[in-house]
Structure 1
């Protein structure tokens, strides 16, 4: 519990944004949130489960010949760590970075410039449908990391506020109701409950259709009320188009 609270305090004070954090004060620009977690894990590997080890720190021989169990062991991590989920999330970020560095996101977004004359509400609906169609056959984490940069470039190409395309499409990527591969929770439920793919697909048709309609209606109505600045193409987006 003490180690957990210490880790949280270091997270909060690393780079809070509104004030100088300890990483800024020590000029540790490469220290991220993951570094703090890894340090906490290393400490758990080193700390014994019993406090009796203190008497051997400054004591004299003879010492016990039996190794004390640590708070964390590799066997426990190997058996309980969701490795598939780690690779899934990490792979999604890797795909997003690869599409950005290679220029694929920019190329795909600019290729949609021909719909510039299409009504804005129709473009929003198209992005919602594309997002749901893609997340049906792939993990929503990977799809979100790939499509979000594409929709940003698409918004710049057709001169629409990027939030109008990225926010509804990001919410749409959570409508993964049709297949087990759509999202890890679907796969977990199908595995434990022995649900066949066809039954999940049939049960997910109506929620998916309702999600498309309701999300589109809210995006074109309440979206303009909550985010009034999205009516016009922002100046900062014009500057982004120059690069």
Structure 2
């Protein structure tokens, strides 16, 4: 996977670029004002509070959705974010990501995954074939919805199906690991993963430029993940 990383490096000839210089900046632009230092401190404090609420939501009783609203309210009330900053946000990209989240929630709420498990539970498949199927299905779904939503749907579905088809003698942690790691191999679309969305929102990368890398990673990623997890399982490391 690391070797594949070098293909865009050579494509964009980043290795031949001259080092960055900041001679064009004035001394006033380089120096950080006291107000900017205050804003940075406020951002760090709000970030710490938000992360604390996210990680301890089960114990303090604050839902994750409510905790996500803390920076929205706090950053605007403290003046860190202004109206012009909100208008500059890449709303088209945010809507793409939100659409993927909504799609995952809809599939989960309508129990579509459970319906398919019941339909195919009578089919006898080998454990390795089940890993391959779920690895590539995870990549496919993660290209259109968030990784979290895809794994939330597929891990319970895979574990249930594994028990139904007689895979009880296999290591039960292998399939969830394959699904979780394969979800990170979805790079075909801007909505597939937040780094893709951030890169696409700059306007410097076209959507078509995600295709080649997305196809290569999407095909090699699950296969290498399965081999790696199986090897770790063979030496009792998982």
- Using the size of structure 2 for normalisation, the TM-score is 0.60
- Displacement of 1:108: 1.2
| Distance change >3 Å, CA 145–CA 91, structure 1 → 2 | farther
Q: Is structure 2 residue 115 aligned with structure 1 residue 107?
A: yes
Q: Is structure 2 residue 91 aligned with structure 1 residue 73?
A: no
Structure 2 alignment gaps of length 5 or more: 1-40
| Distance change >3 Å, CA 163–CA 182, structure 1 → 2 | same
2:237 paired residue number? 226
Q: Please say if residues 151 and 162 of structure 1, whose CA atoms lie closer than 8 Å, have aligned partners that are also in contact.
A: no
Q: Please say if residues 114 and 157 of structure 2, whose CA atoms lie closer than 8 Å, have aligned partners that are also in contact.
A: yes
Q: Please say if residues 109 and 152 of structure 1, whose CA atoms lie closer than 8 Å, have aligned partners that are also in contact.
A: no
Aligned runs of 1:167-186 on 2, under 5 Å? 167-180=177-190, 182-183=192-193, 185-186=195-196
Per-residue displacement from partner, 1:132-179 (whole Å, max 9, x unpaired)?
34445x245354454444334433433546643232123212223445
Higher RCO (C-alpha under 8 Å, 6+ residues apart): 2
Larger radius of gyration: 1
- Displacement of 1:106: 1.0
- Displacement of 1:127: 1.3
2:138 paired residue number? 131
- Displacement of 1:88: 4.3
Q: Please say if residues 113 and 157 of structure 1, whose CA atoms lie closer than 8 Å, have aligned partners that are also in contact.
A: yes
- Displacement of 1:77: 1.4
1:236 paired residue number? none
Q: Please say if residues 110 and 153 of structure 1, whose CA atoms lie closer than 8 Å, have aligned partners that are also in contact.
A: no
Which aligned runs of 4 or more in structure 1 are off by greater than 6 angstroms? none
SS at match of 2:104: helix
Aligned runs of 1:1-243 on 2, under 5 Å? 1-2=41-42, 4-5=44-45, 8-9=48-49, 11-12=51-52, 16=56, 23=60, 29=61, 31-47=62-78, 70-80=79-89, 82-115=90-123, 117-136=124-143, 138-141=144-147, 143-160=150-167, 163-180=173-190, 182-183=192-193, 185-186=195-196, 189=199, 192-195=203-206, 197=208, 200-223=210-233, 225-227=236-238
- Matched residue count: 192
- Using the size of structure 1 for normalisation, the TM-score is 0.59
Q: Distance in 2 between matches of 1:11 and 1:105?
A: 31
